[in-house]
Amino acid sequence: MDTGMSGSAILMMLVGVIIIWGGLFLSIFYASVLTKFKKKFKVE
Amino acid sequence: MENRSQWGTRAGFILAAVGSAVGLGNIWRFPYVAYENGGGAFFIPYLFALLTAGIPILILEFTIGHKYRGSAPLSFFRLNGKKTEFLGWWGIFVSFVISTYYAVIIAWAMKYTIYSFSLSWGKDPEAFFFGDVLKIADNPGEVGGLVGGVALPLLLVWAICFIILLGGVKKGIELANRIFIPVLFILFLFVVIRAITLDGAMVGLDAFFKPDIDKLLSPRVWVAAYGHIFFSLSIAFAIMITYSSYLPKKSDITNNAFITGFANSSVELLAGIGVFAVLGFMATSQGVDVGDVASAGVGLAFVVFPEIINQMPGMNGIFGAFFFLSLVLAGLTSLISICETYIAGMADKFNISRRRSVFIGVGLSGLISMLYATKGGLYFLDVADYFINQFGIAVIGLVEVILLAWVFRKLGVFEQHANAVSDIRLGWWWKVSLTFITPVVLGTMLFFLIKDNIAENYEGYPTSFLWTMGWPVAIGAFVMSIVFTSLKWKNNTRVATDYEEDKGGL
């Protein structure tokens, strides 16, 4: 499939998306799910 | 003990912090900075800067605000008396200057939101913006008369800001951000989705993401990445200290900083995709390279975007309105945070009510902002923005980390405080980032900056104009910080009591 973008551009887009949006997702996940889990099961 | 205002929820604080960080620069500065400095390769220094300067300084400022529970000057006063209080005032005066011209840009964007529906800029958006809208003066330094078409929406911006700030932390700032940020996200997502479905969008994205690895060898690219992260995250000008001072005692400082930092970068990445997709469309339809149409700042938003909107095959009006409304919302949430610094600072120092502080602060900045609504306003804005950002924020950041990490050696105390309330524990990377990496990079940045400004005048402006509007503004912020630090705290029980309670618990 021709996306109109070079392979290196796609690679860098994926790097940016995975690290930045992934970082945001992980930090929100950590704040909402893991913190509640730790509180519920009193994990120190 | 005082009853200090608090955020209603953790999400409320995070939305407000993200609202402050996400401003006009995310939309119109980041895409061009990334493109100019290696395209996709820029993400390497950018991410490095985010993790070694942006987020560490955010954690530092969240910790200061949370630990000392005061406006920036009060927090720094509690930290080490008048030896550090000036840092808070310095940031506040930088914020004050920024608020005066930032409001004018929001006023232009408001006008353009309405203009979009009828494409009022016609076939020559450049002549329309500089001629019909700004009625720009012939020479820098000329004030000309007040431009009514700019002054009226400017008054509206200040009225909105006034009402929100008068509502207080929870019912004003938090509520506004709870509404504005989700709406901004939805509007901007629409803009980006429409942009990437245009013909030629992929050509633009290829230009934006294609890595120029050789550029990574240039120190200036790394300095640009650190500089951008620094300006983008609302750090070093009192905002994050003020906002975090309203956090409840049990608040996860470190993870809040990670969420704020990554959310800000996520919006920047989205903006890069949206902006370069439409630039690709424009370049393709005109048969030129993306580099020929790529631009940033005022020119990108108020000249290039209207040209692109003219050429779009459909949904022109709604696309334009959503884009400019996104600018309005991004700008308003940042402006509110900027104004909150001096409102909180004045209330603490002079022991006056919040209501009175809002009247004085917003009234004064609103009055001064009228200078930028004159025919010569754009020249004043351009020079004030450059000098206050480059020689204000960057220098404060450098002085802040040197004083806290090297002179007063407070990082250990802050690390202990942050770790006591956060799930993510700070480690050696945080101290190394603030003690070594940030001062070295900011020092290098200032070296290049001074070198460049000695070599030639900014944008070729006359020296006399730069010494009227540029240097005095940057130097004035520092001088005023010393003046305000020398004033006594007015019969203020807040200065000691609240902090002592906290200190006992740590």
CATH of the domain at B445: 1.20.1740
| B253/chain A closest Cα distance in angstroms | 11
| Cα nearest neighbour of A24 on chain B | B262
- When divided into structural domains, chain B yields a total of 1
**Residue among B10, B41, B266 whose CB faces A24 most closely:** B266
> Residue B112 falls within a domain, yes or no?
yes
Q: What is the DSSP string of B168-196?
A: HIIIIIIHHHHHHHHHHHHHHHHHHHHHH
Q: What is the mean pLDDT of residues B36-58?
A: 94
Mean pLDDT of B386-405: 91
Write b or e for each residue in B84-103: b if 16 or more Cβ atoms lie within 10 A of its Cβ, otherwise e: bbbbbbbbbbbbbbbbbbbb
Q: What percentage of chain B exceeds 90 in pLDDT?
A: 87
User: Is B502 part of any domain?
Assistant: no
Cα of B397 to nearest chain A Cα, Å: 24
pLDDT digits (tens, 9 = 90+) for B176-218: 999 999 999 999 999 999 999 999 999 999 999 999 999 999 9
Strand partners, B146: B374
Q: Dump pLDDT digits (tens) for B214-257.
A: 999 998 899 899 989 988 998 988 999 999 999 999 899 999 99
In a domain, B266, yes or no: yes
Q: Is residue B186 part of a domain?
A: yes
Asked if residue B234 belongs to a domain, the reply is: yes
Q: Evaluate whether B203 touches A4 at the Cβ level (below 8 Å).
A: yes
- Return all residues near B460 (Cβ < 8 A) that are at least 6 apart: none
Q: From B205, which residue of chain A is nearest by alpha-carbon distance?
A: A5
Average pLDDT over residues A9-17: 94
pTM of this structure: 0.94
- The gap from C-alpha B195 to its chain's centroid, in whole angstroms, comes to 25
DSSP characters for B91-152? HHHHHHHHHHHHHHHHHHHHHHHHHHHHTTTTT-HHHIIIIIIT---SSTT----B-HHHHH
Q: Is residue B301 part of a domain?
A: yes
Q: Which of B206, B264, B270 should be substituted to probe chain A, the one whose Cβ sees the most A Cβ atoms within 10 Å?
A: B206
- Whether B286 is covered by a domain: the verdict is yes
Q: Is the dihedral of CA B128, B114, B146, B306 positive or negative?
A: negative
Write the pLDDT tens digit of every residue in B258-286: 999 999 999 999 999 999 999 999 999 99
Residue B4: inside a domain: no
Domain limits for position B100: 10-486
pLDDT at A22 over 70: yes
